[in-house]
Structure 1
């Protein structure tokens, strides 16, 4: 496919071009066959090709990091081409803008859910333009719980079009009516005459057969979508043949280990490399500059060895003069105090306003106010950051687990001083992503090391203490929440102000320097989960003050929703208590304008047995939250274990639109519960004198089997297009657990993590 360049300029004649661009619909996402030019297979469009053996090949642009996206997307193709799931092969996508993620950009707009449900002309125009711009930018990213939502229509249309082309090719070849043709199991056949031909026999003719008016199958004809099928990656992960980044092994490969200065923002000064080079198996030591220092990614040293063990021993033997952060050492306690003060006193950017919150608050019969706080969090993917790079003969080759292959390619090209076309990227399975692999720091480092290794491939790996100690953290945050109630206990006003670092401008400065502007625009991720409440409160003012703590921050699973849901749903529970109302009834009364949310909440409460007796020592807490287009309600049965909250049973209901793979939905929700409980009970990053205190998994415990509750998932049937599922199950976990603890003990927890004594109000 020919790549198009979008030029945006000032005024005059160029202004007319911009107006013309705005008036046109977004470019087709079907793609042309020449997007796969040069391949031995026959391309029927930009997404579907037929292999020499007749197998259907799906051009796969999204990364598999355990979320099951390869299975769900393969199901869409299998459905439209009437083939078995295992008859569809997945081949890596190239770097054409066709494979960019449009839904991620549209989802990043700071729109209220009600505006999305009932969009006016302004909202429709905004989404239209963002969709067009995203299509031209073509950023291939796996994130934001958007993979299925983004490709729901393009992949079904691409497969349906391929099917129509194959049927048309048979009709032309046999001179028989296309309406009498049938497509089944990789074969086109004509029942009346008995003629049959496999996909491979018709592929070349099908590629040049014109079709029009193609539509995907109606829901009533689905045989694959909506069924629970075995995941396509299970067998390889069970027998060990699945290839992750750390599994890469190449001829003459060396291994490298990173070593940063202990303090965030610090750097190595004078270095004595002799003790390291004296060790057997150590090949060299490489000094690494601070790539993208404006947003993190500090300077470091790397030791190269014949094995990872040799490199680790060499890294430990280095004698390094440690330099601190030039602007002064960071301290998480001081940062938390500043955030609390900012939340209490600042005005911030108003993300949502309705009515007159100040006047309504002043005239309210009663008031409730509270400060909620959340700490920094590390990603701690089970597979630590790694990248294998080879720089030879003017080309760069990468093997790595990444959520952004195009950005990895661009970073490698910048470091090596070559064109992007001279960089090849091989995306492996990801041993967890959670937003950490939206970063390309490890790519830049690996390429710089490889440039010093004479054409040998080098695998760079970060040891766990480096991973935790130099992450791009989920921002710490605080929220000062105030509400007014009338004499009947109805909420009349909300005035909420939060504070915390903005992720998007920092991430863009690191990964998209050409697009990162000199000014910070309001970042939706800072206030999502606060400004976009479904509750019908007549007077609202929801604002956020974006801070600059100096701590490197990045995307973390569920992003702002991960802590803002704890703030909002914990406070809503406080309002129910202040009104003397049952938490369920209180929320249902506020959801008069949100039938979708009501249905989800009612289903979760019914399946959890809300209001029915529980054994002694147990209580229920609930939370409701929308994120990434999906609504999740969660009821957690809570008990006390060693004086701390313990989840005994989790009942969740979800509306995520059309469900492609039911088992996948359940698995993602269970994963989010486990991930969310571990974070709610144990997750924190403490920074003292600039140094992260947590070093390894014992400092940030994962949930054990003994701590794992029974988890139930219930889905609200929907005919809307699919929405996100990788992240929406996480936000309700912490507030439901905290609300259950209050119901059990009368103790209100307003600070994460919930297990420490400092969590109590």
Structure 2
């Protein structure tokens, strides 16, 4: 998403969940000493993140959910660096949900790095300072004469040396240093940050050990399978569960009504049984009647017709009115117009939504693969009238998230089922069909672009009317048009507006929310503008960017704004990487700025026996002065490119007909296959800015570059995704 959309995402997600916008490091540093470690040996808890063991090993708590973005490794790397211990001596454990201690505790918006870059380092530095203070007391030496190295305290003058563990008892009695008083390492002295580091869970994943929510096994656990209406949002009118209840192993059938997220309540029937297969098969015996009136009129055809009508008039809402676009367009030497469209898209996480819940003694305990555990706690508290303190959420690893698990509807459904069998844990596992039906989809969209060029071929006016989706005139999650959509800040006369269509299809944030669609549309149209001006798209972008300068965020926005010099830097880097020498058949370019990351891509495509194939992709990026884990950074960028390929080429589209979702499994929703993955070459530009996130910003320009490459190859402009549907 563009930077401003990114900030709105964080504000909505955190404030909507009752969460914090800034991590309270002082609270975490002052956490109470720990109880003995699990092995029975005493462990010294120096703060909320660091426990020191007698064998001089260290347990570091990873506070944020791990969804494949590498955060369970990256955040402890920051702590271990400033603690000054060997990475091999570190053990990592996943935190439980604790909004008071760990908020913001979520995975989304590529925000983990910018929000935690300083606080996690301060957590490690504070623990180190307490150990040094204890050593100084025990050795009767000034702290200034002591140093540390790989988990040992050293006194240079006497060559005295001892492990951290020797000072553990004294360290926990030291005053907790203020975060602002801590001296952090010079980056030149980093021994962990900046080094390629394997994911801490990788050995367990390869060995098939239980890590994910779907792996949860508890004594006495029951299993639940869900049956939901074919039309999203339909109401449960009547049901007969007698035949299902008569089946061996079936314990209960629970009717669920208007549960989940407030804007997308769910009616469903849940079969509870001794095994999931028993529960799933028993669903076939349920007699059920749904009421879909008013929700069954929506379809792709009706949406497209409504968009065409909307484009004939003015937008419902003005997003940006800059200069006089109407006059500039009327007086332009050359005018262009085009409509770009893209479909609803599913998150399609390989691990379907699941949650294990247990009601006991008036308290609720859950094991969930969630991206927003605090939001889940708050939603559960509101739904069931519980105090947040009476709700424990164990955060499991997620088999993919991509934004789907920011919505915690499945946690509420699991808890509602478990409430009917108190004292017994119940695992709710959605099958693939139900998982698709209960998704919160990336919004479809219809852009009507107009552009005006002057006699010298310069872009002087730009207009975009986005017909998007939402409710009550407001765009849904990730469905809005940002005022700083590139190149709005770079053109004198701009008119951006949007019209919202009502839909029963719930909308959600999907990896690089908004940006994953906006990049395709805006960069595709700019490619047309460049061609009309006798330029290539990178030439046009560099012309528009001009000299390096900082453009502040839109009025009322926050964050660092948009730096044209950094944008130009990544464009030049990817041109260098790819050996760009001008327009070439089957080659495309794309640039996008999102999540405070600047990325540009070049893609080569060719026709093969099975259709168009991506031959090679080059990516240039700038996320600041430090790449914390280069190995994970490469993985995130490659994953972004591969997912972007799916948006363009694989046929990723969720059709809507009569209010029903038209996909049920991966046969109708084909994700990119491993044999389609091309060579991907990455070049990172280091700039003098604090580091930002990498999970999302490479995907939008990759989508744009691949789409523009297809246009170049076929000679026909690709204006509708996916390519197979165009």
TM-score (norm 1): 0.85
Aligned-residue Cα RMSD (Å) equals 2.4
Measured against aligned partners, the alpha-carbon deviations of 1:657-710 in whole angstroms (never above 9, x if no partner) come to 121111111100111111111122211111111211111011111111222211
Q: Tell whether the 8 Å contact from 2:446 to 2:468 is kept in structure 1 after alignment.
A: yes
**Partner Cα distance (2:546, 2:145) in 1:** 51
**Structure 1 residues 476 and 619, CA, compared in 2 at 3 Å: closer, same or farther?**
same
Q: Tell whether the 8 Å contact from 2:444 to 2:468 is kept in structure 1 after alignment.
A: yes
**Structure 1 residues 535 and 652, CA, compared in 2 at 3 Å: closer, same or farther?**
farther
- 639-648 or 366-375, which deviates more: 639-648
**Partner Cα distance (2:488, 2:149) in 1:** 45
Deviation of the 1:454 alpha carbon: 3.5
Deviation of the 1:375 alpha carbon: 0.8
Q: Tell whether the 8 Å contact from 1:531 to 1:542 is kept in structure 2 after alignment.
A: no
Higher relative contact order (CA 8 A, sep 6+): 2
Deviation of the 1:535 alpha carbon: 6.3
**Structure 1 residues 37 and 626, CA, compared in 2 at 3 Å: closer, same or farther?**
same
Q: Tell whether the 8 Å contact from 1:160 to 1:215 is kept in structure 2 after alignment.
A: yes
> 1:526 is matched with which residue?
480
Measured against aligned partners, the alpha-carbon deviations of 1:9-44 in whole angstroms (never above 9, x if no partner) come to xxxxxxxxxxxxxxxx97852325553466444333
Stretches of structure 1 that go unaligned for 5 or more consecutive residues are 1-24, 102-139, 507-517
**Structure 1 residues 578 and 626, CA, compared in 2 at 3 Å: closer, same or farther?**
same
**Structure 1 residues 623 and 90, CA, compared in 2 at 3 Å: closer, same or farther?**
same
> 1:164 is matched with which residue?
129
Alignment of 1:282-681 (within 5 A): 282-292=250-260, 294-502=262-470, 526-528=480-482, 531-533=485-487, 536-593=490-547, 594-611=564-581, 619-641=586-608, 644-657=611-624, 658-681=626-649
**Structure 1 residues 157 and 312, CA, compared in 2 at 3 Å: closer, same or farther?**
same
Q: Tell whether the 8 Å contact from 1:650 to 1:712 is kept in structure 2 after alignment.
A: yes
Deviation of the 1:628 alpha carbon: 0.2
**Partner Cα distance (1:714, 1:87) in 2:** 32
Establish whether residue 742 from structure 1 lines up as the match of residue 696 from structure 2. no
Deviation of the 1:533 alpha carbon: 3.1
Q: Tell whether the 8 Å contact from 1:529 to 1:565 is kept in structure 2 after alignment.
A: no
Q: Tell whether the 8 Å contact from 2:260 to 2:413 is kept in structure 1 after alignment.
A: no
> 2:57 is matched with which residue?
55
Measured against aligned partners, the alpha-carbon deviations of 1:429-481 in whole angstroms (never above 9, x if no partner) come to 10000111011111111111111123111100111111112211111111111
Q: Pick from 72, 75, 81 the counterpart of residue 74 of structure 2.
A: 72
> 1:153 is matched with which residue?
118
Establish whether residue 223 from structure 1 lines up as the match of residue 219 from structure 2. no
Alignment of 1:688-707 (within 5 A): 688-707=657-676
Q: What is the SS of the residue equivalent to 1:526? A: coil
> 1:95 is matched with which residue?
98
Deviation of the 1:384 alpha carbon: 0.3
Deviation of the 1:330 alpha carbon: 2.1
Q: What is the SS of the residue equivalent to 1:173? A: helix
> 2:695 is matched with which residue?
726
Q: What is the SS of the residue equivalent to 2:196? A: coil
TM-score (norm 2): 0.89
Measured against aligned partners, the alpha-carbon deviations of 1:170-220 in whole angstroms (never above 9, x if no partner) come to 112211122221212222122333433332332342234344631211122
Establish whether residue 186 from structure 1 lines up as the match of residue 151 from structure 2. yes
Measured against aligned partners, the alpha-carbon deviations of 1:25-72 in whole angstroms (never above 9, x if no partner) come to 978523255534664443333433434554333332211111111121
Q: What is the SS of the residue equivalent to 1:299? A: strand
- 202-211 or 680-689, which deviates more: 202-211
- 312-321 or 558-567, which deviates more: 312-321
> 2:554 is matched with which residue?
none
Q: What is the SS of the residue equivalent to 2:359? A: strand
Q: What is the SS of the residue equivalent to 2:157? A: coil
**Partner Cα distance (1:146, 1:250) in 2:** 33
Stretches of structure 2 that go unaligned for 5 or more consecutive residues are 1-20, 37-42, 548-563
Deviation of the 1:151 alpha carbon: 0.2
> 2:17 is matched with which residue?
none
**Partner Cα distance (2:505, 2:478) in 1:** 19
Measured against aligned partners, the alpha-carbon deviations of 1:492-526 in whole angstroms (never above 9, x if no partner) come to 01111212125xxx8xxxxxxxxxxx995998761
Q: What is the SS of the residue equivalent to 1:433? A: coil
Measured against aligned partners, the alpha-carbon deviations of 1:112-153 in whole angstroms (never above 9, x if no partner) come to xxxxxxxxxxxxxxxxxxxxxxxxxxxx32100111121001
**Structure 1 residues 680 and 747, CA, compared in 2 at 3 Å: closer, same or farther?**
same
Q: Tell whether the 8 Å contact from 2:210 to 2:216 is kept in structure 1 after alignment.
A: no
Q: What is the SS of the residue equivalent to 1:256? A: strand
Q: What is the SS of the residue equivalent to 2:82? A: helix
Q: Tell whether the 8 Å contact from 1:305 to 1:311 is kept in structure 2 after alignment.
A: yes
> 2:686 is matched with which residue?
717
Q: What is the SS of the residue equivalent to 2:269? A: strand
Q: Tell whether the 8 Å contact from 2:527 to 2:536 is kept in structure 1 after alignment.
A: no
Q: Tell whether the 8 Å contact from 1:566 to 1:735 is kept in structure 2 after alignment.
A: yes
**Partner Cα distance (2:489, 2:173) in 1:** 54
Deviation of the 1:745 alpha carbon: 1.9
> 1:42 is matched with which residue?
44
